Amino acid sequence: MTRTAQSAQEVTVAIGDSPILLRCQDEEFWTIVEQRYSSFVREGAEPACVFEVEVTRPERSLSSVRELRVQNDGDAWELERGDFRVEWNSRTGRGHILQTATPYAIDTALRIVHTIVQATRGGFLLHGASAIRNGRAFLFSGVSGAGKTTLSRLAPKDAILLTDEISYITRGANGYRACGTPFAGELARPGENAAAPVERLYFLAKGPENGIAPIEAGEALRLLLRNILFFADDPELVKMVFRSANDFLGKVPAYRLTFYPDGRVWDLIQ
């Protein structure tokens, strides 16, 4: 971490292809960053966004809005929940975060910013686990309880676990890549800071035995859209997300993976 002349520390957290620089004077905030994002810190990376972070005390609600609110007026974005308020200009990449001293506030703020950035780049964040095996990435998507964390726990030693909760998909000239994220689920640990080309997408279902079955294109699109993280009620960005999902399925095959919770399911994933 770098200390500025104003006695604030700053660090660039590089998740996916969009490094975000955080600048803050609060020591407790940096304890949170060290615990959750240390393996994603990249000194010298050119940030896509810069946020001045202010931590409020004593702990109090920062908003009367109980549920998450995300709204924009052109490039000017406002994100708000009881534990944080964010003002951010998506064109300049500059913003301000006011939050309580909890990891959930900065975690949610970063997820939302990344979803908006990726919507304009053809990528997305997916409610799903992901892992690298033999140099290729596999995605395992499903709603809560579908088995993402269970499958992650069963992963063999040769698998690099990128996340058990939020998969980060980027689009480049050579196709799609899955990137590790610090956004953890029930495993309560960040994924590996690694990336690989996406080989397959699996929609999870629990069953009495392990099996893989093809899935019809329209159903795959419906399930994918259901599990893409997106919080903004912006018609143009919604269209971009729809196109991104459709384009992704045009390049990456999707299947239904039914599995019984034992390690043999990974014999099918290679």
| Tens digit of each residue's pLDDT (9 = 90 or more) over 80-139 | 998 999 999 999 999 999 999 999 999 999 999 999 999 999 999 999 999 999 999 999
What is the domain-level CATH number for residue 264? 3.90.228.20
For 18-57, the pLDDT digits (tens) are 999 999 999 999 999 999 999 999 988 999 999 999 999 7
Please tell me whether residues 108 and 131 are part of one structural domain. Answer: no
Please tell me whether residues 115 and 132 are part of one structural domain. Answer: no
Percent of the chain topping pLDDT 70: 94
Please tell me whether residues 156 and 105 are part of one structural domain. Answer: no
Domain boundary residue, one of 86, 104, 119: 119
The answer to whether the bond into 156 is cis (omega within 30° of 0) is no
Domain count, the chain: 2
The burial class, CB within 10 Å (0-12 / 13-18 / 19+), for 164 is: buried
220 contacts: CB under 8 Å, gap ≥ 6: 201, 203, 249, 254
Question: Which of these, 222, 152, 229, lies nearest to 192 by C-alpha position?
Answer: 152
Please tell me whether residues 189 and 246 are part of one structural domain. Answer: yes
Domain boundary residue, one of 119, 136, 154: 119
The total number of residues written for the chain in this structure: 270
Q: Distance between CA atoms of 244 and 72, rounded to whole angstroms?
A: 21
Please tell me whether residues 74 and 177 are part of one structural domain. Answer: no
> What Rg value do the Cα atoms of the chain yield, rounded?
19
> Which residue range is the domain that position 87 belongs to?
2-119
With residue 80 as reference, give the H or E element that holds it.
strand 76-81
Please tell me whether residues 78 and 98 are part of one structural domain. Answer: yes
Please tell me whether residues 257 and 145 are part of one structural domain. Answer: yes
pLDDT, mean of residues 170-193: 93
The pTM assigned to this predicted structure is: 0.92
Please tell me whether residues 141 and 14 are part of one structural domain. Answer: no
Please tell me whether residues 89 and 55 are part of one structural domain. Answer: yes
Please tell me whether residues 79 and 45 are part of one structural domain. Answer: yes
Please tell me whether residues 82 and 128 are part of one structural domain. Answer: no
Please tell me whether residues 85 and 171 are part of one structural domain. Answer: no
Going from the C-alpha of 22 to that of each of 34, 54, 130, the distances in angstroms are: 12, 10, 26
